[in-house]
Structures are given as C-alpha cells and as structure tokens.
Structure 1
Amino acid sequence: MVENAQSKNQLFIDIDEGKIPKRVPVYTWMDITYIMQYAGVDLRKAQWDVDKFKDMIEIGAKSFQSDINPATFTRIQPVYNILGAQNFVMSSEGQIQHPEITGMGPEDYDEMIADPYKYTHDKILPRLYKNLDTTPEEKAKVFAKAFKAHSDIFGQIFAHHDLMNEKYGLANDRVGCQTVAPFDQVADQFRSFTGISSDIRRCPDKVVAACEAVTPMMLKAGVKPHSSRQKRTFIPLHMAPYMREKDFEKFYWPTFKALIEGLWENGAAPLLFVEQDWTRYLDYLNELPAGTQMMFEYGDPKVIKEKVGKKHIVTGLYPLTLLARGTKQECIDKAKEIVDILAPGGNYIFTFDKVAINIKDANPENIIAVNEFVKEYGVY
C-alpha cells in the first residue's frame, strides 16, 4: 500500500486521539549534524551554510524511511556566534557541546527569585553570552541581530520541511516549541550540575523558591499559538535520575508537574525526552495528564508499558548503540522484540532511545532496515 502524507499524518492523529492506528508510526530523530556527515560534507563548514540546509533536509526526507523527516535543528551556530555563546560551543570536529558553566552564584538566589525575568536579562544572559556583556544600546543591537537571524533561519527550515513533506509523502513534525523543567533550568543554565548539587544541601528553601520563580517563564516558553497535540512542546528531562528520590519529591517534581499541567491547560501537549533511567519515577509520570508523550532512553519496556503505557504515549527504548555495532538481522530482531512489547493496545510510536548526532552513533543502513521492518511488521 502506497502511503501519502495524509495517511501518515493520520497515524499520529490516531495516537493523539487515543485510537489504535493502522500501523505503528515510525519517528526517527537525528540531529542535522548526523545528516551532514551522512551526506559527506564538512561538518565544521556546513553548520554555517544556511543556504545548504535545505539540501540536508531533503536528504533526511528521502533517505531513512521515517514517517516524519528526521532532520532536527537544535543548535544554530550562526546565532550562537552572534551572541558569543559560552554555554554552547563548537568542538574541533564540528559538534556543538554544552560545557558546564555557572551563570549565577549562590549569593544571587534572592535577586533572581525576586524578579527572574530581570535577573536573567541583566545577569544570566551576559554571563552565558559574552556579546551581551556590553552597554544597553549595544546589547539591544546584538539581541535584535540574533533574533532576526534565528527567525530567518528557522523560517527557511520550516518552509523547506513543508515542501519536502509534500514531495516525499511525510507526516508533519510533531515538535512545535521547547521548554525546560524548572529545576533543570535552574541547574543547567544558572547554577550548573555541581552548583545545584551543593545548593540543595546548603540552601534548600532557596532552591525550591527559585524553581517556583522560573515556572511561569518555562510555561510561557512552552505555549505558542500553534500548540496542540500534533505540535507538541518538547521538554528534555535532565537532573532527576541523578537525585535521591526524597530530593526529587521536594525539588524537582512539584514545579515539573505544575509545568506539565499548565501546558495542558493552555492547549500545549508535552513531548518529554525522559533521559537516563526514570524507573524509580514511573508512578510519578503516570500522574501527569493523559496523553503526554514520553520518549524513554533506558528502562524495562515491559515495566514502562505496564506503568505508563495505558495512559500515555510511549516512545524510545530501542538502543541506538545496537544500530552502531549490530548486524542488520540483530537490529531487526531487537525491533521485533520492542514492538511486540510496546505496540499492543496502541499508545506507541517507534523511535530510538536517543537522537543520532554523530555518524558513529548509528549505521545508516541499519536505521533504514529497522524502519522498513517496523512499517511492515507493526500493522494492527
């Protein structure tokens, strides 16, 4: 059966509406840097060549047998260059890395809590982006230039995605915007992993207040005019697996749950990237509003299906590492095992456990073989 864009979109719409689709939808995520390496271009140069992004989008659309174009743009180097980013820097090989950097000292909690918007603008951003550490007039110019570049580049990306979806019969991208769990925001961009780990012992009340203070910011970032079940708010979850459960209950969960409930109340359906192993917290996740999509990195698929798969949409769990080193048959056998566990009853989209970033992360031939297999095998 020949499937067009409309029939593939319907697979995901059925999932979002709690119906069992005709077959398991296949959603492969890979950073544009993976596709650039697959195409054989110089990664260090290609991330600057905005005009050639459309070629990479087309290669993603026609090559990997995903129901949605796998080309994902998360880090736009020209914008980071305009801002003078310290928190996202390009390595010698061309990969964008996130070094541990502290944007806020522990002595600044009170100031940040009092007005997180003002503090972020006045203190955090100039520390993370050196070109904003200047006069108000120059800062405004840098902001305007970066915002214009960001808007222009993503405008081109979205337009070409639409063209390629029509040309190759692909479903629409499911991600409409991104936000961050409040505790992760305080940890990742403000205090760093080391800093927040110390703070929850030394000044726990201020950490709680800081998470509460930034929650409205995170909610605002996660709601757009186009937000819907089909255009979801992507949220990568970072810190929870590294915390003791009692610390998770106190510092992470309350504001994270409030954020997710707030998104749903404002018409924005979340898509969570559940990083590392959240087995300890599956019962918490099941408390979230029904229909939340959860892309799991690690865990027992049977337990995850039983704990959250009846209420929520489960994705992930197929090991990217197997695609890197396994034979084609080993990869297909694993796909069958995962689909047999997660597909019954619906609420399942086939994805890998991680986003492919480097060409070494996965053998392209294995990706294609697995995606083709799931499309043929995962019929309800």
Structure 2
Amino acid sequence: MEFVSQEAKQAFKARARRLIDVYQVKEPDRVPVSLPVGNMPAYLDGTDLHTVMYDHDRLIKAWERFNREFEMDTFSSPALVLPGRVYDLLDCKLYQWPGHGLPDNATGIQFVEGEYMKPDEYDLLLKNPSDFWQRVYMPRVFGAFESFRYLQPYTSIIELPAVNFIPYSRPDVQATMQRLIDIGQALAVWSEVIGDFSRRAMASGFPMLRGAMAKAPFDTLGDTLRGTQGIIMDMYRQPDKLLEALEVITKLTIDAALASANASRGLMVFFPLHKGADGWMSRKQFETFYWPSLKRVVNALVNEGIIATLFAEGSYETRLDSVNEFPRGAVAWMFDKTDMAKAKKALGDKCCISGNVPTSMLVTGQPAEVKAYCRQLIETCGKGGGYILSGGANIDNGNPENLRAMMAAAREYGVYRK
C-alpha cells in the first residue's frame, strides 16, 4: 500500500498494532476508540441523508471531513448509507428511506417488518431454498422482481429445454431483466466510489476495522422471512419445522459469510444480533433456537481465521454465562445495554469487548458527562486489555463535542503504562 506520507504510514502501523492487540485480548498502547456514527457525518457537513444517498460527491466529502476531524483508530465508512438509486430501482419493500416512505428530512431509514414467508411455506423453503428465494420471497420484497413469480424453477430444465424459457417472452419479465442491468450499472458506480474512499482512507493512515456482515440464522428467519409475531408462534406451533429451517439457513449463512469475507479481503465479519436479547425469549428458547445455529456459523469463521464481532443489541446479561465458548481472541462482543462490568467478568478473559456509551447521552448529554462515563468504562473494562471504547448504538445527529469527549477520555485515561 502506498501512503500519502511517511507520517500516515507510521500512524497506520500504530493504529493497526493497537487494534490487533486489543482483538487478541492483549494490552495495546491505549484503549482504541470506535465512535458510534451512523449518518452523522452528513449533518456535520451541512447536508442530510437524502442528499448523500443520491449524491456521491457530497457523500464522500462529508465522510472524509469527519475522518479528518475526529481521527479515530479506524475510519468511518459511508458504505452503510443506502445507494438511493439502487434501492429506488429495486423498489425495495423491506425499508423506507428519505423520499421513499419517509419525509425527505428523515435522518435514518426504517425497516418494514412483514410476514414475507407464510406459516405454511416452510416446506417450500426446505425443498429448494434458491427457488423459494427467487420465485416467492424476492417478488414480495422487491417490486422490481414482481414478474419472477411467473418463472419456472431452474430444476425443471433438464432436456429439450426450449419451452421452459417461454416466461421470458413476457414484457414484464423482459422489463425486469433491463431493470437488473440498470441496477448492476448503478451498483458498479457506487462500489467504485466506496472502494476508492476506503483506499484513500487507508493511505491516509486509517486501517479498516470491519469487512463483511452476516446475521444469526434465527434472525434471518425472524426478521427477514416470518416476522416477529410469526417466529414467536412458530417456536410453539411448529418447532420442528423451525429447527429444520434453521439447519438450512445456517448452511447458507456460512457459505455467504465466507464468500463475503473473501470478497472484501477482510478478517472480520460483523453480526447485529436482534432477537436473542434478554426478555425476547426464554433461556431455554435461546439455547434451543438461537444460540446453536449462530455458534455453528461463528465456529465456521473461526476455523478460517476470521474474527466474528457479535453486536448484542439490547441487553445480554442473562446470556453471558453461556456464550463464552470460543478460543481466546477468536470472537469479539459489542454491547448495547449490557452491564459492562458483568460482560468483562464473563467474557473478558477470552474475548475483546466494546460498548456501551448510551446513545441518549451522546445525543442530549454534555461533554463532561460523556467523558466521565467513558472514564468509568475504561477503568472497568480496560484492565488487562481487550476493550474498545464505543457506543451502544449509532447516532445520526447530536452534539459533536460529545464524540470529541470520547476521544479525549481514551487519550487521557486509556493509556497503558508498560
């Protein structure tokens, strides 16, 4: 890698060493910081989410300015900002965003939960997951794929296949094919913009922290297919079908996570954990439906030398004593509302942990309050290394001085004396 200067090269090495040490549960030179920024760089640069979803130049300008001003131990990437044109072309039903279901001035996006797989469709999923995805699920969640419900299963194409392609003579199917070309072209432009941003950020001295993203198999079924109400009912009414489906989704998740990690050349896969939190399901349900399949996915990554970062949304205090099952340095945990002293005690011997400066404090609190809270976290979780100072969840708007207070706390209270 070519750096923009010798100083940038040295800064990259220092930051990378700091992150390597902390993920290996060693004492770095100081506690690293990962600021919990969502779409905030856009607003600090005087624009908004709607604008940067469609204007690549404004997007890059805002995030480059943010990284210059805050100088974290890694860089904040705009990769999670939805490419507006792509989602417009897809006519995606899973989300609402500014200008598409939400007001233009909305600061975030909204997931639209639905029963995108019916309770009697488990057998369709189990029989042929790819066909279910293409001809049932995708037409329900993407308006662009509405016509795919008229296609025949590809497994029907065996010999003398001409008649199997008759559905492709339909005008709506042909329009979908053209729409896919348009989507691919728009994504190619967006991918190059994001890739160039990342290369420049690293050349300026900032290592990349996260590579790919995956989900717990139960969350794939519960968020994306059955919905919250549906998956709850399934745990009681058809638990065996649910477990069969989890087996299928687990295999698909492992393949997809490994492929994504290889494509991104990253050494880390990030998992936002949704439906395994305290209060969402009982301990028995967690140990039956949620944890076994997630553990299999994580172990598959660990076996390939990939670090799994598990973001425990909500509280995980009743789960802590049952999830410390991985080799030292193989898994990292990020916490939202979990008591960090309990997390350190339960997991800190083998896992890097991060969190949990409250989102409400960062948005409405004062810098002195934030700094004091961060000091307490550092003194509680930083002993022996293996702790990253971060928020409980990302913020889209708020007081930038509170983020500077987080950085100041790490530099003032997080230095290890060796």
TM-score range, shorter chain: over 0.9
Structure 2 vs 1, CA of residues 193 and 236 (structure 1 numbering), >3 Å: closer, same or farther? same
Q: Is the 8 A contact 2:371 2:408 kept in 1?
A: no
Corresponding residue for residue 132 of structure 2? 119
Corresponding residue for residue 64 of structure 1? 70
Corresponding residue for residue 111 of structure 2? 98
Larger CA deviation: 176-185 vs 9-18? 9-18
Matching of residues 124-203 of structure 1 within 5 Å:
124-135=137-148, 136-167=173-204, 169-170=205-206, 172-203=207-238
Task: Identify which of 48, 57, 60 aligns with 1:54.
Answer: 60
Corresponding residue for residue 273 of structure 2? 237
Matching of residues 169-318 of structure 1 within 5 Å:
169-170=205-206, 172-223=207-258, 224-225=261-262, 231-241=267-277, 242-291=280-329, 292-318=331-357
Structure 2 vs 1, CA of residues 42 and 269 (structure 1 numbering), >3 Å: closer, same or farther? closer
Amino acid at match of 1:371: M
Q: Is the 8 A contact 1:56 1:71 kept in 2?
A: no
In structure 2, distance between residues paired with 1:148 and 1:182: 31
In structure 1, distance between residues paired with 2:79 and 2:344: 30
For the pair shown, the structure with the greater C-alpha radius of gyration is: 2
* Cα deviation digits, residues 335-365 of structure 1 (max 9, x gap): 1100000101111111111112x21xx3111
In structure 2, distance between residues paired with 1:288 and 1:76: 36
In structure 1, distance between residues paired with 2:328 and 2:182: 40
Corresponding residue for residue 323 of structure 1? 362
Give the drift of 1:111: 0.7
* Cα deviation digits, residues 140-175 of structure 1 (max 9, x gap): 4434433443343133113212213433x32x2211
Amino acid at match of 1:79: V
* Cα deviation digits, residues 67-94 of structure 1 (max 9, x gap): 2122343233222112110001112133
Larger CA deviation: 137-146 vs 291-300? 137-146
Give the drift of 1:98: 0.4
Give the drift of 1:227: 6.6
In structure 1, distance between residues paired with 2:255 and 2:188: 18
TM-score w.r.t. length of structure 1? 0.92
Query: Does 2:384 match 1:349?
Result: no
Corresponding residue for residue 371 of structure 2? 332
Structure 2 vs 1, CA of residues 262 and 166 (structure 1 numbering), >3 Å: closer, same or farther? same
Matching of residues 18-57 of structure 1 within 5 Å:
18-31=25-38, 33-57=39-63
Secondary structure at 2:335's aligned position in 1? Answer: strand
Larger CA deviation: 74-83 vs 254-263? 74-83
Structure 2 vs 1, CA of residues 363 and 71 (structure 1 numbering), >3 Å: closer, same or farther? farther
Structure 2 vs 1, CA of residues 145 and 268 (structure 1 numbering), >3 Å: closer, same or farther? farther
Give the drift of 1:226: 5.7
Q: Is the 8 A contact 1:102 1:192 kept in 2?
A: yes
* Cα deviation digits, residues 184-243 of structure 1 (max 9, x gap): 000111011111111111111111111111112111221132677x63111100001211
Give the drift of 1:102: 2.0
Say how many residue pairs are matched: 372
Larger CA deviation: 285-294 vs 20-29? 285-294
Amino acid at match of 1:162: R
Q: Is the 8 A contact 1:227 1:233 kept in 2?
A: no
Secondary structure at 2:306's aligned position in 1? Answer: coil
Larger CA deviation: 326-335 vs 282-291? 282-291
Q: Is the 8 A contact 2:246 2:293 kept in 1?
A: yes
Q: Is the 8 A contact 2:254 2:297 kept in 1?
A: yes
Structure 2 vs 1, CA of residues 235 and 114 (structure 1 numbering), >3 Å: closer, same or farther? same
Secondary structure at 1:225's aligned position in 2? Answer: helix
Query: Does 2:403 match 1:367?
Result: yes
Q: Is the 8 A contact 1:233 1:270 kept in 2?
A: yes
Q: Which structure 1 residue ranges, 5 or more long, are not aligned?
A: none
In structure 2, distance between residues paired with 1:368 and 1:157: 25
In structure 1, distance between residues paired with 2:132 and 2:300: 23
Structure 2 vs 1, CA of residues 166 and 227 (structure 1 numbering), >3 Å: closer, same or farther? closer
Q: Is the 8 A contact 1:61 1:165 kept in 2?
A: no
